[in-house]
Amino acid sequence: MRTIFRVLALCLCVLLVAGVASAEDKKIKAGFIYVGPVGDLGWSHAHDLGRKFAESKLPWLESVFIESVPEADSARIIDRFIQEEKCDVVFTASFGYMDDTIKAGMKYPDKHFMHCSGFKQSKNVGTYFADLYQMYYLNGIMAGALTKSDKIGYVGAFPIPEVVRHIDAFALGAKATNPDAKVHVRWIYAWVGPDKAKEAAESLIAAGCDALAFTEDTPAVIEVGQEHSEKGKQIYTFGHYSPMQAYGVDSVVSGQLVDWGVMYVKILQSLYDGTWTKDDLYWLAAEDAAILGGDFDNIINPKFVADLKAAKVKTADFGEISTYDLVIKRYEQMKKGADVFEPFSGPINDNTGALKIKKGAKASKGDLLSIMYYVDNVVGSIPK
Amino acid sequence: MEDLIVSVAQRTLIAGTPLLIGTIGEVICERSGILNLGVEGVMSIGAVAAFVVTFYTQNLWLGLMAAVLAGMLISIIHAVASVSLQSNQVVSGLALTMLGLGISSLAGKPYVGKSLTEKMNTVAIPFLSDIPILGKILFVQSPFFYMAIVLALAAWFILEHTELGIKIRSTGENPKATEAQGINVSLIRYGCILVGGGFSGMAGANLSISYSKLWIEGMTAGRGWIVIALTIFALWNPMRAMIGAFLFGGIFVMQYLLQPLGISPSLLAMLPYMATLLVLVMIGIKDSKKLNAPAMLGEPYKRGER
């Protein structure tokens, strides 16, 4: 009998110690909702790299994710993350999840939510975004210098402010080196649609474009550019979101890259420390969230460096310099801070001739987040 | 202008090829009286099989063979369910689609973003490709295009002009009478389902080793459903399937070509289904026998039942 009591007492002690230990050992569980497959090589892939980075940096973090969640279906997944997975914070990484995330915030007042790329916050719902429009501007500088047909193409996912802002920034960049170049746009109405992106790229090339940028989460446009370049018709392409230079060594000039990892670490650390606020996090090149390059090792594909160095351009602040130097200098300015060089500096007209940003003025963050007009060297109109 | 026409026509044929290959298979299958709604799933299985085998062997033809075999193997599920167990063909077909899409993305996970060293490139047919304009359009194409045309002609000939074709067709029209002739209805239907699956697998291979050389999840992107619509649009005839497939392919290409003119791509994307609805309405109005629809399509056949 005494031995049994001893064993019981020992067990209780062990349980007590374990209980105390777990109370001290604070953990955070984060759920991530992605709109595409994590293998899309674009948006969702980049977010998942960020999640993995955060998990490797933060020992107290546990994370789960669900991929390919349609934008209308996130409420169900949020419920599952909170109720079954017992997540403390849920990251909803697509614009269309916005209203469901706000609703979830009301439904679960003691949990935190972070919505990516939206503009609605509440007590426990914050927003975050790493925007790449500066990188699109830099790519536009290169596209303008390299194009021989003065026709530049852009394959867009959906006509929403984010993509329109990128098209405009790209067009403004092209205008800086080539005032005659026009940007032609095709919409594919899909974030992940390699076949559509491919057809759209082919139709742009058929229309005479020889430089292509895009917003679509696969290297489909790059593949088209590489194919044509191999056959002897040089098509310049600019990678999007993930390192894509390997898919088009003869075609990719540069591109935009994103690092969500630094951002996720900051957000999760603030939750852990209790310093979290709902304030919008809007990160650009200065925060190291937006990075220029076709992959993380090359800002500009070495194959095209000589061409860019040979192309001279007149600028107001640097005088006459090579396009290559202009890209590097502007990139350095952007890294110093968003206010050092703003691509959207007036005067800027839309393509119907209306003045949108006055001479000497700069676009505000609000202007940029709601932009829904084409600047004057983009062809056509935004579909309704 | 000439370049533009050639480019558009070439793209149309490229976009229509996987549709045509899939449709030939579905026509054969439906002519024997079996509705197979699993095309989308079987196509994805074919796509992943072709990609993985090509990835390791560097041999595109082995990849193609693997796709055809995989398509046939997975279709056995539908054959057992619809022929041996006489279950509802709509349900087992849909199950096949879901299963196929699932298996394909699971098996393809390690290859996401990986690229083949080479894809099935275009082959220019000597002499014929020198014909101005038409030569460039018709005779500088991927081997899949040539195979699709030959297979469509062969399928048409076999179905309409051979004894085997009569057996297949009568199985779809009146299995009881066919059985009375001493023909094994189950065997014919099994065969047609497997051949149909092989075609779907080949259509998938077309996408993963010829249309693109990158593995991307969900590359079939609803083409399996267009194939089912096309089968009706073509009124169960492989020759008409050729016209239909390239018409639907053309619509896909036109989506981006006509966009600058203000024509919504969503509207054009809708057209294949609209056209199919129109054909269905026509079938409803006209005498359906004249329109070739197999009379016993989708009806399970129980041997010896009166």
The strand order across the sheet containing A112-116 reads A61-66, A28-34, A89-93, A112-116, A125-130, A281-283
What is the overall mean pLDDT for chain B?
90
Which tokens is A137 given?
A: 């501007």
Q: What is the pLDDT of residue B288?
A: 59
Q: What is the pLDDT of residue A228?
A: 94
CB nearest to B257's CB, from A45, A203, A379: A203
Between chains, do A186 and B259 touch, taking CB under 8 Å as contact? yes
- Residues of chain B neighbouring A198 (CB-CB closer than 8 A): 211-212
Q: Which residue has the higher pLDDT, B158 or B263?
A: B158
d(C-alpha B227, C-alpha B23), whole Å: 5
Between chains, do A203 and B253 touch, taking CB under 8 Å as contact? yes
Min Cα–Cα distance to chain A from B102, Å: 13
- Residues of chain B neighbouring A189 (CB-CB closer than 8 A): 265-266
Q: Does A189 touch chain B (CB under 8 A)?
A: yes
Q: Does A209 touch chain B (CB under 8 A)?
A: no
CB nearest to A200's CB, from B112, B214, B256: B256
Q: Which of A18-22, B122-126, B288-292 comes out lowest in average pLDDT?
A: A18-22
Tell the residue number behind the tokens 């194409």, with chain if given.
B141
**Mean local confidence (pLDDT), B251-266:** 84
Q: Does A9 touch chain B (CB under 8 A)?
A: no
d(C-alpha A139, C-alpha B25), whole Å: 46
d(C-alpha B269, C-alpha B253), whole Å: 10
Min Cα–Cα distance to chain B from A195, Å: 7
- Of all residues in chain B, the percent with pLDDT exceeding 90 is 61
Residues with Cβ within 8 Å of B228's Cβ and at least 6 positions away in sequence, in order, are B26, B37, B39
Q: What is the pLDDT of residue A134?
A: 95
Q: Does B122 touch chain A (CB under 8 A)?
A: no
d(C-alpha B245, C-alpha A337), whole Å: 54
Q: What is the pLDDT of residue A23?
A: 47
Per-residue model confidence as pLDDT tens for chain A (384 residues): 566 666 656 555 555 555 444 445 789 999 999 998 887 777 888 999 999 999 999 999 999 999 989 988 999 999 999 999 999 999 999 988 999 999 999 999 999 999 998 889 999 999 999 999 999 999 999 999 999 999 999 999 999 999 999 999 999 999 999 999 999 999 998 888 889 999 999 999 999 999 999 999 889 999 999 999 999 999 999 999 888 999 999 999 999 999 999 999 999 999 999 999 988 898 999 888 999 999 999 999 999 999 999 999 998 889 999 999 999 999 999 999 888 999 999 899 999 999 999 998 999 888 898 899 999 999 999 887
Q: Are B168 and B159 in contact (CB under 8 A)?
A: yes
Between chains, do B214 and A193 touch, taking CB under 8 Å as contact? no
d(C-alpha A381, C-alpha A257), whole Å: 28
Q: What is the pLDDT of residue A21?
A: 47
| Chain A residue with Cα closest to B108 | A39
Which tokens is B175 given?
A: 């299995």
Q: Give the burial class of A360: count Cβ atoms within 10 A of its Cβ; 0-12 exposed, 13-18 middle, 19 or more buried.
A: exposed
Q: Which residue has the higher pLDDT, A9 or B252?
A: B252
Residues with Cβ within 8 Å of B162's Cβ and at least 6 positions away in sequence, in order, are none
d(C-alpha A20, C-alpha A315), whole Å: 66
CATH says B2-291 is which class? mainly alpha
- Of all residues in chain B, the percent with pLDDT exceeding 70 is 97
Q: Residue ranges of the domains in chain B?
A: 2-291
B144 membership: H or E segment, kind and range: helix B143-161
Give the other-Cβ count within 10 Å of A150's Cβ: 17
Q: Does A200 touch chain B (CB under 8 A)?
A: yes
Label residues B16-46 b or e (16+ Cβ within 10 Å = b).
bbbbbbbbbbbbbbbbbbbbbbbbbbbbbbb
Give the pLDDT band of residue B297 (cuts 50, 70, 90).
confident
Cis ω for the linkage preceding B18 (within 30 of 0): no
Highest mean pLDDT among A31-40, B115-124, B205-214: B205-214
Q: Does A379 touch chain B (CB under 8 A)?
A: yes
Identify which of A236, A251, A241 has the alpha carbon closest to the alpha carbon of residue A144. A236
Q: How many CB pairs under 8 A join A and B?
A: 87
B167-190 tens-digit pLDDT: 999 999 999 999 999 999 999 999
B222-231 tens-digit pLDDT: 899 999 999 9
Q: What is the pLDDT of residue B276?
A: 78
Which residues 154-173 of chain A have a CB within 8 Å of chain B?
A: none
Min Cα–Cα distance to chain B from A362, Å: 30
The 3-state DSSP class for residue A135 equals helix
Give the pLDDT band of residue B260 (cuts 50, 70, 90).
confident
Give the other-Cβ count within 10 Å of A168's Cβ: 32
Q: What is the pLDDT of residue B301?
A: 86
A204 membership: H or E segment, kind and range: helix A194-206
Min Cα–Cα distance to chain B from A112, Å: 31
d(C-alpha A43, C-alpha B14), whole Å: 29
Label residues B224-253 b or e (16+ Cβ within 10 Å = b).
bbbbbbbbbbbbbbbbbbbebbbbbbbbbb
Q: Does B166 touch chain A (CB under 8 A)?
A: no
Global pTM value: 0.85
Q: What is the pLDDT of residue B306?
A: 52
Q: Does B217 touch chain A (CB under 8 A)?
A: yes
Between chains, do B216 and A194 touch, taking CB under 8 Å as contact? yes
Q: What is the pLDDT of residue A190?
A: 87
Q: What is the pLDDT of residue A8?
A: 58
Angle at B127 between CA B126 and CA B131, to 5 degrees: 125
Q: All domains of chain A, ordered by start, with CATH?
A: 28-131+260-287 (3.40.50.2300), 133-257+291-370 (3.40.50.2300)
Does B270 score more than 90 pLDDT? Answer: no
Question: Could you tell me how many residues make up chain A?
Answer: 384
Q: What is the pLDDT of residue B109?
A: 86
| Chain B residue with Cα closest to A378 | B260
Between chains, do A195 and B219 touch, taking CB under 8 Å as contact? yes
CB nearest to B217's CB, from A39, A200, A246: A39
Q: Which residues pair with A375 in a beta bridge?
A: A350
d(C-alpha A117, C-alpha A106), whole Å: 20
CB nearest to A187's CB, from B8, B113, B259: B259
Instruction: Please tell me the number of Cα atoms within 13 Å of B282 on its side-chain side.
Output: 14
The number of angstroms, rounded, from the C-alpha of B32 to the middle of its chain's C-alpha atoms is 16
